[in-house]
Structure 1
């Protein structure tokens, strides 16, 4: 990732780890989701509303390069690869001490309260493309 839109500092908690003390693989998405939600909130974009809908994930992938362990301080670097009519394709890197430990992609779709896709309006589209 050349320049992330959002950088979210975090720490690997005990609840994130398996019996070896290493980050259990699905827990990486919790950290990525926190970064995504904070970015959306900072841009003034509603993350979820029972009346207005939300942004569920329709695809996630992650490659792991280095293990992360209990207590490690990490940064989730989040960017946007593509904004479609109703979807956002996010890219992320999880970095520890300047080294990429995991990277991946996540696609979310803007939906109404019944789960039907909604076209992303121009105001929201502009906020998503905002540079920090």
Structure 2
């Protein structure tokens, strides 16, 4: 990713790995979610609340290029492809020592406390930064 919107450092924990010693594929999404939540917190965007709703994922995809192992230091880079009326299309890369090990996309939708889509207001939209 040439110009990530957000960079989040992390490391592969023992609990992230399977019996091969490599990261188990769904654990990549845990690291991406941690990066997403850190980004939202830093920008003052509520993540989830019973009263206000949240940002559930409606689509995720990931391609894997090389394995990650226990205690590898990694970096999750986030970008935004598009912000729609109620959705955010994220792109991500997971790197180890500058090498892309996994990359993908996810779409989240702003929903109310009943799970119904909400239009992303201009104030929230502006907190994401960029011209989406």
Distance (whole Å) between structure 2 residues aligned to residue 94 and residue 47 of structure 1: 22
C-alpha displacement at 1:120, in angstroms?
Answer: 0.2
Gaps of 5+ in 1: none
Runs of 4+ in 1 over 2 A off after TM superposition: none
- Give a deviation string over 1:67-114, Cα, whole Å, max 9, x none: 000010000000101000000000000000010000000000000000
Let me know the Cα RMSD of the aligned residues. 1.0
- Give a deviation string over 1:28-72, Cα, whole Å, max 9, x none: 000000000000000000000110000000000000000000010
Distance (whole Å) between structure 1 residues aligned to residue 33 and residue 12 of structure 2: 14
What SS does the aligned partner of 1:23 have? Answer: coil
State the TM-score, normalized to the length of structure 1: 0.97
> In the alignment, what sits opposite 1:57?
57
Gaps of 5+ in 2: none
State the TM-score, normalized to the length of structure 2: 0.97
> In the alignment, what sits opposite 1:90?
90
The total of aligned residue pairs comes to 131
> In the alignment, what sits opposite 1:76?
76
